[in-house]
Amino acid sequence: MTEIKKDKAASHESDFDFEQAIEELENLVSTMEDGELSLENSLKSFEEGIKLTRKCQTALSAAEQRVQVLINEQGDTEELDTST
């Protein structure tokens, strides 16, 4: 049962286009900043923006977890010398 949930989550994540979501968020913000929307449309845009933001946060968290798993699987990594 756990494997099924993981498979569905992975499938859902692969359908999500992070860059497209960011672009949509930018468009929503731009439209709202223009101040030409009615109150109702502003609320709808805000709601859509919140949904997109949550999806982006979820995608970023999942990516961070994947990176951490890869680092853990590979063992210790050398620290880069950033002083140069």
Does a structural domain hold residue 19?
yes
CA geometry: angle at 60 spanning 49 and 46, to 5°?
5
Looking at residue 40, its pLDDT comes to 96
Q: Is 70 exceeded by the pLDDT of residue 13?
A: no
Listed in sequence order, the residues at least 6 apart from 52 whose beta carbon sits closer than 8 Å to its beta carbon are: 21, 24, 25, 28
CATH number at residue 35: 1.10.287.1040
Residue 63 amino acid letter? A
Domain of residue 55 covers 13-70
Q: Read off the pLDDT band of 73 (50, 70, 90).
A: confident
pLDDT in tens, 20-53: 999 999 999 999 999 999 999 999 999 999 999 9
Residue listed under structure tokens 């994947």: 66
DSSP H helical segments within 1-38, as ranges?
A: 2-15, 18-34
- Token pair, residue 64, equals 């961070």
Give the number of domains in the chain.
Answer: 1
